[in-house]
Structure 1
Amino acid sequence: MDLSDAQWRTSTRSSNGGDTCVEVADNLSDAVHVRDSKDREGPILTFDPTAWRAFVHTVSTH
């Protein structure tokens, strides 16, 4: 998977120096990618954009 054009942004819920450091790249049309900002060379989760929006909506309302 070539993510060289991905524009990663840190979640607003991530804390500076904390345990929660999530980055999201959603500028690519076919998928949303999520990674741990403390391990940028590690695994990347890939989601269908519709599924990602449903997830974000669900967690933001709870």
Structure 2
Amino acid sequence: MNSFFVDNLNRIAEGGWLGQKLSQFQTTLTKNMKSQAKRLLRILPCQMQIILKVKSEES
């Protein structure tokens, strides 16, 4: 996320209920991005092995 977006979220987050909701959303978004990244890191090695196997069979 770009810092402009985060700065604005933080500025709004200082203002009450809406701020609470936004910071919850920001936390959820960050958690989701982290879990997506973890999943990708689990999947990628398998994908790379498949690609390498296919490449070696082609040649």
TM-score (norm 2): 0.33
Q: Which structure shows the higher helix fraction?
A: 2
Q: Which structure shows the higher strand fraction?
A: 1
TM-score (norm 1): 0.32
Of structures 1 and 2, the one with the larger relative CO (CA 8 A, separation 6+) is: 1
